[in-house]
Copies of this chain bind each other. A is one copy, B any other.
Amino acid sequence: MKKIVKNLTNIFKPKSVAIIGASPTPNKIGNVILRNFIDNKFEGKIIPVNPKHDNISDLRCYSSVTEVPGKIDCVIIATPAETVPQIIEECCRRKVGGIVILSGGFEEVGRMELAQKIKELATASEIPVIGPNCLGVYNPYTKVDSIFLPGYKLQRPKPGSIAFISQSGAVGSTVMDLSAHYGLGISKFISYGNATVLDESDYLEFLLNDKETEAIILYLEGAKEGRKLLETMKKVNKTKPIIALKAGKGAGAQAAAKSHTGNIAGAYMAYQAAFKQAKVIEAGGINELFNFVKIFNQPKAKGRRVGVITNGGGIGVLTADAIEAEGLELAQFSDATKAELKKILPAYGNVGNPLDLVADADVNGYDKSIAAMMNDPNIDVLVVIVLLQTPPVDERVIHVLSKYVDERKKPIITISIGGAYTEAYRKILESKGVPSYNSEKAAIKALERFVTYGKYQESIRKSE
């Protein structure tokens, strides 16, 4: 790994953070960021920098980085574009560990000379620079948080194992907000904007070696170096699954991308081919990024044969449709399983796949039928549909589902569709590590990607 990439650690695990453009005025970017560090009880040194103030929030404020005594691991810049090159120059002289530039007004509005200056300075000093024109970084483990959106509007996710790399701040932050909402943990968030110094490939490379990261989400509009991206994706995706969303597919969308992060979106077909070659999982929209990644906390599937349990016949039929449409298989239960299930069902019930427990099903019925399917060698994956609206389904369903998820014998996903009551339960399930979907189509699509990736990893192991 290149030294400049390795140095990203200075940004994610800093002992000291300088905030250039720190401000005492509420809602100003420089204030939101300063408050992030203070309110989240960042354990290192917090250094506000702003020539207009001597003191902000009881912290000594410096007029420039050159005035700050001691080592500076991470610098976050939130000042106008034209001031940035000089600040970078000072940072290089001061030998800071790494820099995050949030400010916009560079390549995306045609000011190439400003961008070029930054690139030259940082590269020469081997100082990693994230941005400019971005939301920067969030690390829930160390509380580094340059996201200038208030916490009550944009929840921050808990620590976990999923990393997000996003060229767009808006896309990255909404996926973060969704993750926090459903209790999904993340390892690192990187919103990298114009990619002036480091690009998506560098971040992938960094995350490959990051112990806290197990799966990676990538949103990109246009890569600067296509070949480098392909090779990096190939390498990283062998060990850690990459779920990628490419935006700027059509002509109109490409024009929009250009004025967004200053990058040429490039022919979609080339990206699609690269994803295919690297076996990267391609998402078709924001919600798919989120839907696809959250199943990767499950143990690997041995095959494509799915057992389905439901308490709503119609949703079972729709799920069976989705399974067949996605090229997964409805498992054929073993005779032992059939005999077991027959005991659970009411007299008029049919043992089939999907197994329809009918609306009378209580949590006990779920418990027994999941146990039977867990023991059936003909079933690789379980899809448990629980319509939480029926009277006999009570809160014990949380215990039963998380019990089987914790056992890690086979992958399980759940589907529950409904309003306020259902959504409240889904949040609890997700927070207990049970993947929960509010759409049968989305659930099965995610399952297919998960099963196919598992098979790919297995094929690598066998060929090695």
Contacts and interface: CB of A to CB of B under 8 A. Distances in A.
Interface in A283-316: 284-287, 311-316
Contacts of A440: 285-286
A150 B256 CA distance: 48
A153 B388 contact: yes
A248 B352 CA distance: 14
Contact of A417 (B167, B286, B422, B438): B286
Given A104-B348, A419-B178, A252 B170 contact: no
Contacts of A253: 317-318, 320-321, 323-324
Given A153-B421, A178-B419, A330-B252, A257 B317 contact: yes
Interface residues of A, number: 87
A320 B420 contact: no
A262 to B, nearest CB: 11
Interface stretch (A51-59, A86-94, A354-362, A449-457): A354-362
B177 A389 contact: yes
Contacts of A168: 312-315, 317
Contacts of A152: 421
A377 interface: no
B439 A285 contact: yes
Contacts of A314: 166-172, 219, 221, 247, 260
Given A167-B314, A177-B389, A389-B174, A418 B154 contact: yes
A247 B321 contact: yes
Contact of A441 (B171, B284, B321, B423): B284
Interface string A138-182: 000000000011101111000000000011111111100110110
A32 B359 CA distance: 14
A325 B247 CA distance: 12
Interface string A310-340: 0111111110111111000010000000000
Contacts of A423: 181
B316 A32 contact: no
A428 interface: no
Given A168-B317, A181-B420, A314-B169, A32 B391 contact: yes
A27 interface: yes
Interface in A405-427: 417-423
A253 to B, nearest CB: 4
B104 A350 contact: no
A348 to B, nearest CB: 4
A163 B463 CA distance: 57
A239 interface: no
A398 to B, nearest CB: 15
A260 B105 contact: no
Contact of A149 (B286, B318, B389): B389
B287 A438 contact: yes
A249 interface: yes
Contacts of A318: 171, 245, 247, 253, 285-286
26 contacts: A148-B391, A149-B389, A153-B388, A167-B314, A168-B315, A168-B317, A170-B312, A170-B313, A170-B359, A171-B315, A174-B389, A177-B389, A178-B417, A178-B418, A249-B324, A252-B320, A252-B324, A252-B330, A252-B353, A255-B352, A256-B320, A256-B354, A256-B356, A259-B352, A285-B441, A287-B417
Interface of A: 27, 32, 104-105, 109, 148-150, 152-155, 166-174, 177-178, 180-181, 219, 221, 245, 247-253, 255-257, 259-261, 265, 284-287, 311-318, 320-325, 330, 348, 350, 352-354, 356, 358-359, 387-392, 417-423, 438-442
Given A154-B419, A257-B317, 19 more contacts: A109-B350, A152-B421, A155-B421, A166-B314, A170-B312, A171-B315, A171-B318, A173-B389, A174-B387, A174-B389, A174-B418, A247-B314, A247-B317, A248-B320, A249-B321, A252-B320, A260-B316, A286-B315, A286-B417
